[in-house]
Structure 1
Amino acid sequence: GEGWRLGGTAPGTLVRTGATVLGAPLSLARISLEGRVPVLDPTEDGDLPSVAIASPEEDSLLPIGTLSVSGTLGDHRSLVSVAYSLNGAPPVEVPFAADPGTGFLTDLAATFDFGVEPVPGRNTVVVTARDAAGNEGSSSVEFAVVVPREVPLAAGAHFALATDASGGVRHWGSTGVYGFPILTAPTLLPGLEGAVALAGGFQHGLALLPDGTVRSWGANWFGQLGYALEGQAAYGTVPAPVPGLEGIVAIAAGGHNSMALRADGAVFVWGSNGKGQMGNGSEGGFATTPSVVQGLPPCRAIAVGTGPRTEWCTLFAVAENGDVWGWGDDGNGELCRGNTSPRHSLLPVQNPFVSGVASIACGYGFAIAVREDGTVAGWGRAGQGQIPGAWWQGSHSVVVQVPGAAGIVQAACGWESTLLLREDGVVLACGGNKYGQLGNGTTIEADRSQPPPLPVPVPGLGGVARIASAFYTAYAVGEDGSLRCWGLNSSGQVGDGTQENRLDPASVLLDQ
């Protein structure tokens, strides 16, 4: 009738609890000691404890942040301490649950799990276990930590822009205007150090600087640089400030138009007004001065699409609540207004078929929206399969859900192809493949007797942080700052030192 428990000065000893229990007295033979051993004399132990690190794996490449180190410990008698050292620093004790009767860890196999703060580059963690006899066993693992490098990236019709490791802007390809020859490899473009965002139009470029101002260069036939050039020159060979823009947080360019988003959500436009791109109710001509688009709620994202003529563009803005607004050309259903005439709008109109949008990208006559939940929708021109789910229709004025797209964080559009960046760093591609812009090693187009293929991963690409596309060329920047490009290369826009088309992603050196 009396209660007993394990305890005392040595493992396996029964002591009286002073309590009364129902049933038969406890029997030592009925108490399971599986996985545990008594420590008879730990000082006579000559065997080393075992330590096995399961995670991280040897030579793994990991992102910056707190890292969990886990594994198993073992000893046939007793462990009294476990400690780790990161990169040769003094050991840090790892708490573990000891046997209350002995103070030892007597499990035949126990696990450990602790967090460390590794530094960028190579790191080494050593885990050491010591038993009661003073024997020590250890295990180590080496791994590398990569700090994701923010590389602003943009593509124009036949040129591309990106920042190098020092923060300078590199450009390659051709804008097709005097003063900018064909460049087959990334070349420094002075005056844009520290740029935080880049954008490319048909023949002009934009750069957003850290102070919230914008600089532009290239063709200016429609005022897309945002200022009048002396002597009515049609191009600017040196990046120059766009007057009147301050507090800018995002930029966009396409065709002969430019856009800027201010921190308070206001949207500015300048350049061609052939289809009402100014968004102020006017039509025709062009504007060399940025002006605020009328009738828009505060916005958080902007984009410019290309029309059948480079001076006819569709412009988009994503409101802070996730609604999409558009204005300008509507020749391919870009504004989702059905067969409404005229096929353009001089003021912003809300797309009634899509909501919860985080960002938007545009190609020739079509738009791809990435929702906040990582799903994707598209509308507009769909004749090359750039909007899976819309069949091979020439235009589609109703929003279509893109099947096979989940966990998407960014979209980029070429002339008739679509790239989607998934949250795991994989790039998906669909649409036209005339010049290998799908990056699958071929120029084979899809069978038009079948439904348009779903977006599929671009072979050989992983760990991608940002994508861009324009015309028939595609670009991807890795989390480590590496650059891969593929597709049409007639003007050197791939950047690999040649003018040969690339059907697979080619490595391009930004820092040279």
Structure 2
Amino acid sequence: MMRLQKLKLTDSSGNTSCSPLCGRSGFNPTSRAKARPAEELHKCSQECSDTRIGGGPFATHPHPNPPLEREGVWANGLSRIVSGFRLGLVVVLAGVLTACGGGAGSASGGGDVSIRAASLVSPASASATPATTLPAAPNVISITSGNGEITLTWGDVPGATSYNVYYLTYPGVRTSNARQLVGAVSGNPITGLTNTQAYYFAVTAVNAAGESVASSEVTAMPMPALPGIPGNVRLVGGFAEATLDWQVVPYATSYNVYYGISPGLPNATSTVITGVRIPAQLITGLNKAPGRYYFRVTAVDASGEGSPSVELAAIAQGTFKLVSGGYGHSAVVRSLEPALGGIAGTVWTWGDNSRGQLGDSSSKLGKPNDSFTQRLTTAEISYVDRVSAIASGYHHTAVLLTDRTIKTWGMNTNGQLGANGQLLTHSLSQPATNTDFPRSVSLAPPAMTAIAAGFQHTVALKDDGTVWAWGYNVLGTLGYASMDCANPVYGQFFWTCSDVPTQLTGITGSVAAIAGGYSHTLAVTSDGQVWAWGRNDTGQLGTLAANCNRSITQMLPSILQAQALDTVFDPATQACNTTPTPVNAIPGSIVAVSAGMRHSLALMSDGTVWAWGGNYYGQLGYTPAVNLFTNSDTCVVTTALTMPCSYDPKPVLGLDHVVAISAGTQHNLALKGDGTVWAWGYNAMGQLGTGAAAGFVYNQTPKQVPGLTGIISIAAGAYHSLAVKNDGTVWAWGDNTQGQLGDGSKTNRSSPVQVQGLRWPVVIIPGR
């Protein structure tokens, strides 16, 4: 038979007596209504010592040992009783010892039994001391939200046998006012909570001595597994920009906005703007080809990022990407994708218009030659669109259209417009006709894939890898024999030219890239071999070979000086090749070429640049010494002039990771993959963009153009330079005597200035 232990009690007068923990209905040893005499307490003690386990409020605490007969020894019995009441006993040492019934096996009533702490025998009067003290308050390590639940974790408290969690839906949690979870386990979620409702928590530790003070209060809010999907998403277009807005997602802490040129966002090519705090975002710099952009938004909260919204699309109607520079004029193409009535590939021009090279005719008849007007500001021209490539010569412009046809306008002295007899005659009494109206070039079938413009000739590449050329041909520039052209504008003298596009022969392999120089031409075949033809007085053909010596006594120096072309001509003969000739070997794979006045450039697949030809102003970029003749050959240009040069291609010093090149008259530009621009060569007009003072100055090796980043396209004019940034803006520097910098002035600039007046719309595509 198992029995309950008895306790020795001390009343308020200091008298001691035995009191059992009795389960009889109505028995309350600490009743404040009436003090019980000592003999009654002793009698009750005797009765309880014989009480069998099986009923009453302490039926869940059977004690296997016989009762203690000796009074005064209470510590063992009390500790056993208290320690066993994990489910039915809470000890508050500062107040009342409370035993709560209702454990397993309870058969009848019982109620609560309370014993005032002051009635317990003090340690001084007892024969033993308590075995434990109150545990320390737990330290809450983390609190995390879930879907309808919150998880608390806390560190172990030494000596604690269990833990209680208290919580409220408002701050100020105390053990006396909050909902209690007895026997809580660290790391186990507290479930059944309401999402988006804030909860406040505190934790206590429990051992045989009682319950600790509460931990510091912490708070969290149960949330769904992930935030909701933003709704009512809208897209509003601007100029090279768009604004996305959406409906607020409840309890989202921020939003992520995705955009890119490929559908199915987010994906590997998309850009993300994170941490957006309001339900709207302006997105700028929409200027990448092909011009179509896609947009989505997601909501973010503590649980993570939600699913993306519906995907919207827009067209950036104005990705200024293609840029070209002539002698005194400039042009850019607004590279577009047609949609919603937008016009794709329109051309904007500015600068010199003395030969109609701006193409801004107001009618299909064009203006008379003497009425062309210079323009210092940009303007979109009529009668040409769907342009995919553009090239500028000395005083003419050529464009390749998306249907693979070609249009030209401007100067036509040597048939460079390819009008097939419509504008050029061979009669001294009827001069060639210049035009500001874009005219189609006679090509059959129309299957061109690239275009290039030289001084006064034009070159095109066909989809079968063949090269076609027309225009000026005095030194074999076209690569084939042509008839004499009469030009009374410069006096009664003759040279060879053609206004009929004609296919070249003699190139082995399929051509992949072309370039037009002052009076020579370059082509690269698919196997990486460079071919060259035309003038070769300074080695610009990359070989000593020459099959012609053309007399140019008819080209009077005074006339050429008036045109600011090349003042070093004299009656001497000029070395040239009238048919394509291989350039001396360049190790590696060539991906692009560019031709200047008397020098040539090649871009390699490894990002390096090679150069050959004239080096009078350091345009070859590989002579670090002051003496330009060092490490160069000497070329006899005229009877009175020799020039440093090289017939063999050599690498340009200090250039790597280059993705594009462009050669001007006597200076060069290189675009690196990091969006920076590097320049070298002649700098008298500030065309290198380094901020150096004007004068007879040059850089023998490439130097970075300060202040230019994010560049995607470059072009070197005769004595000025152009660049397009990734935000769609166009920048220019160098010679501005004809307004070719587009800043509204005629002041030369040695540092880049932004071209004014270029704008483009972003048009929203409906139905997505």
TM-score interval, normalised by the smaller of the two chains: 0.7 to 0.9
1:229 — aligned with what? 422
Amino acid at match of 2:655: A
Q: Matched residue of 1:454: which SS?
A: strand
Deviation at 1:388, TM superposition (A): 1.6
Structure 1 partner of 2:364: none
**Counterpart residue identity of residue 153, structure 1:** V
SS of structure 1 residue aligned to 2:302: strand
CA distance in 1, matches of 2:472, 2:320: 32
Deviations 1:87-128 (A, max 9, x none): 75899xxxxxxxxxxxxxxxxxxxxxx868569963765422
Residues 282 and 346, structure 1, Cα contact 8 Å, conserved in 2: no
* CA shift for structure 1 position 288: 0.9
C-alpha contact 1:426 1:463 (8 A) present in aligned 2: yes
Cα drift, residue 81 of structure 1: 4.1
For residues 125 and 421 of structure 1, what CA distance do their matches in structure 2 show?
A: 37
Identity %: 27
Q: Paired residue for 1:459, among 706, 709, 712? A: 706
Distance verdict in 2 for CA 1:446–1:79, change over 3 Å: farther
TM-score norm. by structure 2 comes to 0.49
Distance apart, 1:372 and its partner CA: 1.6
CA contact (8 A) 1:229 1:236 kept: no
Structure ranking higher in strand proportion? 1
1: distance between equivalents of 2:665 and 2:315?
A: 34
C-alpha deviation, 1:182, in angstroms? 1.3
1:305 to 498, 508, 517: 517
Instruction: State how far apart, in whole Å, the 2-side matches of 1:77 and 1:218 are.
Output: 72
In structure 2, C-alpha distance between the alignment counterparts of 1:220 and 1:359, rounded to whole Å: 28
Question: Residue 327 of structure 1: CA displacement?
Answer: 0.3
Contact 1:172 1:184 in 2 (8 A): yes
Greater RCO structure (CA 8 Å; 6+ sep): 1
Give how far 1:353 is off.
2.3
Give the distance between the partners of 2:353 and 2:397, measured in 1 at CA.
Answer: 9
2:406 maps to 214
Structure 2 spans left out of the alignment, 5+ residues: 1-140, 143-152, 155-185, 202-218, 231-244, 250-265, 273-280, 284-295, 307-313, 337-342, 356-368, 424-429, 484-494, 550-574, 630-643, 760-768
1:275 is aligned to 475
Residue 129 of structure 1: CA displacement?
A: 2.5
Once residues 305 and 392 of structure 2 are traced to their aligned partners in structure 1, the CA distance between those partners, rounded to angstroms, is 59
The one of 328, 331, 337 aligned to 2:537: 331
Select between 430-439 and 221-230 the one with higher mean Cα deviation: 221-230
Distance 1:382 1:446, change over 3 A: same
Is the CA contact (8 Å cut-off) linking 1:170 and 1:510 kept in structure 2?
no
Q: Structure 2: which amino acid aligns with 1:323? A: Q
Q: CA deviation at 1:359?
A: 0.8
Q: Which residue number in structure 1 is paired with residue 718 of structure 2?
A: 471
Question: Deviation digits for residues 164-223 of structure 1, max 9, x if unmatched?
Answer: 475321111114323432111112221111211111111111011111110111111111
Q: 1:124 to 1:331 in 2, by over 3 A?
A: same
Cα deviation for residue 485 of structure 1 reads 0.7
Q: State the Cα deviation string for residues 120-170 of structure 1 (Å, max 9, x = none).
A: 96376542234xxxxx999xxxxxx99793522111111111124753211
| 2:479 counterpart of 1:286 | no
- Tell me the equivalent position of 2:131: none
Shift of 1:340: 5.1
Q: Which moved more, 1:475-484 or 1:386-395?
A: 386-395
| Matched-pair contact (CA < 8 Å) for 2:676–2:709 | yes
Partner of 1:497: 744
Unaligned runs of 5+ in 1: 1-33, 49-74, 92-113, 131-135, 139-144, 307-312
Partner of 2:579: 347
Q: Which position in structure 2 is the counterpart of 1:28? A: none
State the Cα distance separating 1:444 from its structure 2 match: 5.9
Change (3 A) 1:115 1:151: closer
Q: Deviations over 1:211-249 (max 9, x none)?
A: 111011111111111122356433122110111251111
Task: Quote the residue 1:264 is aligned against.
Answer: 464
- State which structure, 1 or 2, has the greater radius of gyration over its C-alpha atoms: 2
- Kindly provide the CA deviation profile for residues 433-463 of structure 1, in whole angstroms up to 9, marking residues without a partner as x: 1111111222367988xxx553222111111
Using the alignment, how far apart are the partners of 1:384 and 1:504 within structure 2?
A: 20
Q: Report Cα offsets for 1:281-307 as digits up to 9, x if no partner.
A: 56851111010111122111111111x
How far apart, in 2, do the equivalents of 1:168 and 1:282 lie? Answer: 34
**What is the match of residue 525 of structure 2?**
319
Task: State the Cα distance separating 1:428 from its structure 2 match.
Answer: 1.1
Alignment CA distance shift 1:90-1:157 (3 Å):
same
Letter in 1 for 2:412: N
Q: Identify if the C-alpha distance between structure 1 residues 168 and 223 changes in structure 2 by more than 3 Å, giving closer, same or farther.
A: same
Query: How far off is 1:40 after superposition?
Result: 3.9
Distance in 2, matches of 1:432 and 1:219, equals: 26
Aligned counterpart in structure 2 of residue 154 of structure 1, from 296, 299, 324: 324
Match of 1:65 in 2: none
SS at match of 1:152: strand
SS at 1:151 equivalent: strand
Amino acid corresponding to residue 435 of structure 1 in structure 2? M
Look up the match of 2:688: 438
Q: Which amino acid aligns with 1:216?
A: T
The match for 1:195 among 387, 395, 409 is 387
Please say if residues 483 and 510 of structure 1, whose CA atoms lie closer than 8 Å, have aligned partners that are also in contact: no
CA-atom RMSD, angstroms?
3.4
Between stretches 496-505 and 392-401, larger displacement belongs to 392-401
SS in 2 for 1:288: strand
Alpha-carbon distance in structure 2 between the residues aligned to 1:261 and 1:137: 51
Question: CA–CA distance in 2 between the matches of 1:273 and 1:258?
Answer: 11
Q: Encode CA deviations 1:298-355: one digit per residue, 9 max, x unaligned.
A: 111111111xxxxxx1100111112110001001101122375742101101112225
Instruction: Give the deviation of 1:78 after TM superposition.
Output: 11
Change (3 A) 1:447 1:174: closer
1:128 aligns with: 301
Please point out which of 365, 368, 375 is paired with 2:601: 368
For 1:405 and 1:396, locate their aligned partners in 2 and report how far apart those are by CA, in whole Å.
19
Task: Say if 2:436 is the partner of 1:244.
Answer: no
Instruction: Give the match for residue 39 of structure 1.
Output: 187
Q: In the TM superposition, what is the alpha-carbon distance from 1:278 to its structure 2 partner?
A: 2.3
Assess if the C-alpha contact under 8 Å between 1:463 and 1:478 holds in 2: yes
Q: Which residue of 1 aligns with 2:567?
A: none
Could you state the TM-score of these two structures normalised by the residue count of structure 1?
A: 0.72
* Distance in 2 separating the partners of 1:446 and 1:46: 78
Q: Is the 8 A contact 1:412 1:469 kept in 2?
A: yes
Alignment of 1:353-432 (within 5 A): 353-354=585-586, 355-390=588-623, 392-393=628-629, 394-432=644-682
Aligned equivalents of 1:302, 1:137: Cα separation in 2: 50
The 3 A distance-change label for structure 1 pair 438 and 46 is: farther
Q: How far did residue 419 of structure 1 move? A: 0.6
- Whether the 8 Å contact between 1:322 and 1:357 is mirrored in structure 2 is yes
Query: Aligned-pair distance for 1:254?
Result: 1.1
SS for the counterpart of 2:611 is strand
Between stretches 326-335 and 388-397, larger displacement belongs to 388-397
Give the letter aligned to residue 660 of structure 2: Q
AA aligned to 2:436 is T
Looking at structure 2, the residues matched to 436 and 286 of structure 1 have their Cα atoms a distance apart, in angstroms, of 34
Letter of the 1:405 partner, please give it.
L
Cα distance in structure 1, aligned partners of 2:400 and 2:702 = 32
State the Cα deviation string for residues 64-99 of structure 1 (Å, max 9, x = none).
xxxxxxxxxxx99999945586775899xxxxxxxx
SS of residue matched to 2:701: coil
**CA shift for structure 1 position 382:** 1.5
Bigger drift between 284-293 and 352-361 goes to: 352-361
Give the match for residue 91 of structure 2. none
| Closer, same or farther: CA 180–158 of 1 in aligned 2, 3 Å | same
